[in-house]
């Protein structure tokens, strides 16, 4: 049966967490036909071997960058697929997730894209606080401004994705995509559905660094490489470009 949904996972050296993510996709409780596409950005750590255990659709994306990886996966989706789901390699989805995505789009024809709430895998007090702040931020954007779709968990109608041009390989690629998709139709954030996201980058950045990152999302700052280097040192991040979606 031809797939109605394409689940796209961009990968760059994610062997430590990729298997858990792909297992959560493989174990969906649904009869809706779907396909899994892994878009690899040049992994050298065994990620490809893990991916091939779960899908025959492993795409090698020659252009480096998380935006390029997502877009390459989307461009290789089956023609029959009506909905695209972008899940990062360190994000685990609940067993009802694909069924929820399908029914949500089916019952709301004006909805072109949405994201859901999330929880971090680690449960320290600081991380739980950051989790609360982040979810409230996305809900506030949805209610008062326009919804921002975090790249690690984004669902979009394929025709809308094509119309807006898809992901571009730029800084804050999820913000860039969110701004363009918001011009096409309704975009929502649903906090009652939760995926589980790795807290590894949060642990690297610290709470203040995370708040600063969300401020960038809100303001849509365009950061040049010199400023990125200064922020990297200030926020105690090994490479801020990786956190905001640039891997070169």
Instruction: Tell me the CATH number at 179.
Output: 3.90.550.10
pLDDT at 243: 37
Would you place residue 116 in the very low, low, confident or very high pLDDT band (cuts 50, 70, 90)?
very high
Would you place residue 205 in the very low, low, confident or very high pLDDT band (cuts 50, 70, 90)?
low
pLDDT at 199 > cutoff 80: no
8 A C-beta contact, residue 89 and residue 66? no
pLDDT at 223 > cutoff 80: no
In the predicted model, what is the mean pLDDT of residues 144-153?
Answer: 82
Has residue 241 been placed in a domain? no
What percentage of residues in the chain have a pLDDT greater than 90? 59
In the predicted model, what is the mean pLDDT of residues 30-58?
Answer: 96
Q: Which residues of 179-197 are buried (b: 16+ CB within 10 A; e: fewer)?
A: ebbbebbebbbbeebbbbb
Has residue 230 been placed in a domain? no
Has residue 209 been placed in a domain? no
| 63-97 tens-digit pLDDT | 999 999 999 999 999 999 999 999 999 999 999 99
14/235: higher pLDDT: 14
pLDDT at 224: 45
Q: Torsion-angle region of residue 62: left (phi > 0), alpha (psi -120 to 50) or beta?
A: alpha
Using alpha carbons, list the distances in angstroms from residue 194 to 29, 75, 152, 190. 16, 27, 12, 9
Determine the structural domain holding residue 17 and report its residue range. Answer: 5-123+147-199
Average pLDDT, the chain: 84
The first and second tokens of residue 26, run together, are 């493989």
pLDDT at 175: 83
If one counts the domains in the chain, the total is 1
What percentage of residues in the chain have a pLDDT greater than 70? 79
Has residue 240 been placed in a domain? no
In the predicted model, what is the mean pLDDT of residues 174-190?
Answer: 92
Has residue 167 been placed in a domain? yes
In the predicted model, what is the mean pLDDT of residues 124-133?
Answer: 74
Has residue 235 been placed in a domain? no
The first and second tokens of residue 230, run together, are 């200064």
Has residue 136 been placed in a domain? no
pLDDT at 158 > cutoff 80: yes
2/217: higher pLDDT: 2
pLDDT at 219: 57
Would you place residue 120 in the very low, low, confident or very high pLDDT band (cuts 50, 70, 90)?
confident
Has residue 222 been placed in a domain? no
Helix (H) or strand (E) segment spanning residue 231: helix 225-234
Residues 6+ apart with CB under 8 A from 130: 120, 202, 207, 210
């Amino acid at each position: 049966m031809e797939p109605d949904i394409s689940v796209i996972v961009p990968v760059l050296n994610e062997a430590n967490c990729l298997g858990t993510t792909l297992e959560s996709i493989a174990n969906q409780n649904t009869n809706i036909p779907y396909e899994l596409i892994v878009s690899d950005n040049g992994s050298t750590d065994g990620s490809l071997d893990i991916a091939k255990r779960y899908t025959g659709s492993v795409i090698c994306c020659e252009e480096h960058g998380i935006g390029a990886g997502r877009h390459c996966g989307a461009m290789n989706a089956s023609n029959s697929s009506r909905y695209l789901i972008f899940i990062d390699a360190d994000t685990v989805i609940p067993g009802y997730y694909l069924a929820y995505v399908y029914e949500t789009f089916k019952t709301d024809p004006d909805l072109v894209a949405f994201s859901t709430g999330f929880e971090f895998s680690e449960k320290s007090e600081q991380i739980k606080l950051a989790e609360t702040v982040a979810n409230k931020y996305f809900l506030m954007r949805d209610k008062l401004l326009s919804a921002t779709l975090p790249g690690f968990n984004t669902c979009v109608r394929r025709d809308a994705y094509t119309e807006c041009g898809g992901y571009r390989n730029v800084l804050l690629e999820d913000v860039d995509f969110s701004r363009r998709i918001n011009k096409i139709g309704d975009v929502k954030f649903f906090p009652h559905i939760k995926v589980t996201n790795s807290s590894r980058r949060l642990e690297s950045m610290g709470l203040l660094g995370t708040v600063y990152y969300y401020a960038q999302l809100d303001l849509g700052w365009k950061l040049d490489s010199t400023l990125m280097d200064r922020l990297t040192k200030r926020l105690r991040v090994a490479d801020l470009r990786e956190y905001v979606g640039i891997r070169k």
